[in-house]
Amino acid sequence: MLIETRPNIRALWSLIASAGLIGAFVPNSPAYFPVLGVWSLPQLRPKHAHHRRHRLVELAAGRPLPFDPSLPEQPDAAAQAAALLPPGREYVAIAPGPANSEKYWPTDRQRALAARLAAAGVTPVYLLGPFEADHRQWIEAAAPGAVIVGLPEANNDTSYLPWLIHAAAGRCRAAVAVEGGLGHLIASRGGPLLTLAGPTNAMRWKPVTDLWWVLRAQSFGSTDMDAIPVDAVMKAVEEMLTWPARRAGRPPGAASAAA
């Protein structure tokens, strides 16, 4: 069986390439067509990517399945995260993403946010993927009190790094991330998350969490990430940090109105 997760008609190339090698084909293309070897009528795909992919697995299994987005901690990573982020400080995770991506929020904005967090008595925790080592230099200069979690902290083990980032994110009160894999990994911890979105469809690629805030560059007149102002990001961070004390208020989904 081949489950093709690409969300468009290009999935057909996988079908052609695998001709004669598979007994069933379940694509993420519109209407889940063509499904081969599994009984299914064409159907509307769910709005969000994570539900679309879950539906692929249900089609492959031939029955409804529970949707559980949680991800348990790896014990060694949890112990190391506790040492890196000891109690007594208020931590906010920052996942800046690769600097060469169109999804990247410019470094000058990142520096300004670091200063605002420090002034508010918050310790930023920078979560760096395997190709983001270049961020260390400006982080150490702009946020000397920050905690950095990246490949060196993971002993240069790329398979262990996601688990360490996952564990560290769980010790943070809130998180700010550009659209990308680390944002989705942070979301699995269930804490408040702010997504900074520019050229991509933030709603389709919504992280799997109920505590979600989003700021879209389009709301500030552009699809470029540099349109998102520091003031708006800091305001959302302040709202996320006070959210547990305001649970009787409007649901965090309403924070999408900030977009």
Does some domain include residue 153? yes
Single-letter residue type at 178: V
Q: Are 46 and 83 part of one and the same domain?
A: no
Q: How far apart are CA 27 and CA 9, in angstroms?
A: 9
Q: What average pLDDT values come out for the chain (259 residues) when binned by 10 residues? A: 88 88 92 90 88 93 90 96 96 96 96 96 97 96 96 97 97 96 93 94 84 95 95 97 61 38
The structural domain count of the chain equals 2
Note the pLDDT of residue 251: 39
Note the pLDDT of residue 19: 87
Does some domain include residue 66? no
Note the pLDDT of residue 20: 86
Residue finishing a domain among 61, 84, 102? 61
Q: Are 235 and 138 part of one and the same domain?
A: yes
Residue finishing a domain among 61, 93, 109? 61
Give the Å distances, CA to CA, from 38 to 8, 48, 240: 19, 23, 44
Note the pLDDT of residue 48: 82
Give the residue numbers spanning the domain of 102.
75-258
Q: Are 81 and 193 part of one and the same domain?
A: yes
Q: Are 146 and 244 part of one and the same domain?
A: yes
Q: Are 164 and 96 part of one and the same domain?
A: yes
Q: Are 120 and 228 part of one and the same domain?
A: yes
Note the pLDDT of residue 254: 37
Q: How far apart are CA 112 and CA 60, in angstroms?
A: 48
* Global confidence as pTM: 0.81
CATH code assigned at 94 = 3.40.50.2000
Q: Are 82 and 18 part of one and the same domain?
A: no
